[in-house]
Structure 1
């Protein structure tokens, strides 16, 4: 267990990098009257004018200090939806729930099936599916950091809902229940053994399969959520998919790599993208007109949005995003995100810790 002062310093650092670009006004619409909302979340939705009769749905969860519209502006999900006719749902955290706008991925009452924030997100999905006649076999989820961890919560607690998901810089399900423990796991300390990880996933729902396909993305220079968490997520999902510890093959992607596991039927069920030199954030390709670099939205020349959408069968086979006019090339040899040690006032940090622990709203 880390010291209280260490945990408070970590919280202060986490709050410091909170600037993000505004989203495009009016692009996302408020989602209203979606249920009892026990997690007290809000939500946004983007419904393209050219949506299919029974469209696919992508659920997108922002990271800490971000908003739904800001994340969407950088990741380009709604812009991609406009070209391919699927719907985008963006649940959003509130400062009343969490002062850093993190989804509460470790609070027991928010991550159990049919409770708290997990239940609120499920209610949002049900409302969108009903209103827009979404194809229930084509529902997907992705998220960054705390949003990535919450995406894994949703995949674990409602596996029957999702065809696939992409967890970016996230954490395994059910590995922490307090603020200090959450920060320990983020550092890579105290993660459970593989059998325990897998039993937590199995116990999260009464589901017996089939199980969603899982893609995991993580930067090798992530100093906020240690990359060992990505390997732990893979290990957590190996059990239900019946795959061993060694991937079936590796695929180089420039300086980066993708490992793939196939189930006994030969289907690719787990992917692990290890992004060399990348810090904490979502990998994007800002040469595309759909995406925009920002804090924690890192231009490495690989788009997790495009790769995920293609993997999920949302794009035309011949689709390539339009490119911006060429400018100065980004430095893609250095780490793509740096942590800052600037801190807010100690009182605010303590209040944030209490909110994260569920002791203050």
Structure 2
């Protein structure tokens, strides 16, 4: 892929000064992993009795270590008892994720997606995790992978949060490292039904629950153009069978100039006015959407079984 070196700006909005109870650890044998994606995991010292799992795929030109350092989810895991997983791309040319191959875009088909899913499954078994509370969030290429994982593996994930990505299948092509200029530049335009068909064809036998999703995008993004935000809205509203007309609109949330639109209970979108591809991650927003501050104690936390 040819995402420019936006790593520095993406990282600039976060701090690596985390006071942690544990350390990032590599796991080398965790199940089916046809593309040799590397697994790194953070398990807090005070782990919840039935811990949720948060998967954090990095951006292009980034690494698992950088995602760990420049996002606060490890320290938040210390506070709330959830596990975070940081996959590392095998694509050493640019560290971008495989979001293009037929394998990764197919349920149990292979590609980077299957390797990442194997990590979540391993952690659930190893730490008696909550299989109904597995989440994924990423920026740029990590946001593309977020779309891929909630689309290809609706039986694994409870929700996703995608920051400056593209629709599921937008980069589809012949291979694992395909760059799509038509998609990146916002020229790949389909109607909602066409986009939804790509998602549903990833797992034709799937019925029932689909992970809820939030997508966020800057209006001044010149790497993955803002049209991709509009295409994501068309895709996922159609997948969920709701109107492209928002049910609720809120201005200046979570930051001034950002607009949140909700489309029923399972999909929401944030348009960030004047923001480039270097969209500032808002961990509190992600935590709230995934309900990761909920630790039970008589309270029903969001999960695949509780619903929105």
Q: Per-residue displacement from partner, 1:2-59 (whole Å, max 9, x unpaired)?
A: xxxxxxxx93xx3445556896798311122101310210011111111111011111
Aligned length: 280
Q: In 2 relative to 1, CA 53–128 (structure 1 residues): closer, same or farther, beyond 3 Å? A: same
- In the alignment, which residue of structure 2 is the partner of 1:117? 112
- In the alignment, which residue of structure 1 is the partner of 2:102? 108
Q: In 2 relative to 1, CA 108–281 (structure 1 residues): closer, same or farther, beyond 3 Å? A: farther
- Contact residue 67 and residue 86 of structure 2 kept, 8 A: no
- In the alignment, which residue of structure 1 is the partner of 2:158? 163
- Contact residue 39 and residue 118 of structure 1 kept, 8 A: no
- What SS is found at the alignment partner of 2:280? strand
Distance 1:231 1:17 in 2: 22
- Contact residue 220 and residue 278 of structure 1 kept, 8 A: yes
- Contact residue 192 and residue 237 of structure 2 kept, 8 A: no
- Contact residue 23 and residue 43 of structure 2 kept, 8 A: no
Structure 1 unpaired stretches of 5+: 1-9, 263-267, 285-302, 318-361
- Report the aligned-residue RMSD: 2.2
TM-score, normalised relative to structure 1: 0.73
- Contact residue 221 and residue 275 of structure 2 kept, 8 A: yes
Match of 1:255 among 257, 263, 285: 257
Q: What are the within-5 Å matches in structure 2 for residues 298-313 of structure 1?
A: 303=282, 305-313=283-291
- In the alignment, which residue of structure 2 is the partner of 1:75? 71
Deviation at 1:112, TM superposition (A): 2.1
- In the alignment, which residue of structure 1 is the partner of 2:46? 50
Distance 2:85 2:179 in 1: 30
Q: In 2 relative to 1, CA 204–250 (structure 1 residues): closer, same or farther, beyond 3 Å? A: same
- In the alignment, which residue of structure 2 is the partner of 1:86? 82
Whether 1:40 and 2:36 are equivalent positions in the alignment is yes
Q: In 2 relative to 1, CA 314–17 (structure 1 residues): closer, same or farther, beyond 3 Å? A: closer
Distance 2:52 2:70 in 1: 21
Q: In 2 relative to 1, CA 110–316 (structure 1 residues): closer, same or farther, beyond 3 Å? A: closer
- Contact residue 24 and residue 40 of structure 2 kept, 8 A: yes
Structure 2 unpaired stretches of 5+: 296-308
- Contact residue 58 and residue 142 of structure 2 kept, 8 A: yes
Q: In 2 relative to 1, CA 16–167 (structure 1 residues): closer, same or farther, beyond 3 Å? A: closer
Pick the structure with greater CA Rg: 1
Deviation at 1:226, TM superposition (A): 0.8
In terms of mean alpha carbon deviation, does 116-125 or 185-194 score higher? 185-194
- What SS is found at the alignment partner of 1:30? strand
- In the alignment, which residue of structure 1 is the partner of 2:219? 220
- In the alignment, which residue of structure 2 is the partner of 1:358? none
- In the alignment, which residue of structure 2 is the partner of 1:333? none
Deviation at 1:191, TM superposition (A): 2.9
- Contact residue 171 and residue 233 of structure 1 kept, 8 A: yes
Distance 2:156 2:189 in 1: 27
Q: In 2 relative to 1, CA 54–236 (structure 1 residues): closer, same or farther, beyond 3 Å? A: same
Q: What are the within-5 Å matches in structure 2 for residues 133-282 of structure 1?
A: 133-175=128-170, 176-177=172-173, 182-205=180-203, 206-252=205-251, 253=253, 254-262=256-264, 268-282=265-279
- Contact residue 160 and residue 209 of structure 1 kept, 8 A: no
Distance 2:124 2:178 in 1: 37
TM-score, normalised relative to structure 2: 0.84
Q: In 2 relative to 1, CA 250–183 (structure 1 residues): closer, same or farther, beyond 3 Å? A: same
- In the alignment, which residue of structure 1 is the partner of 2:299? none
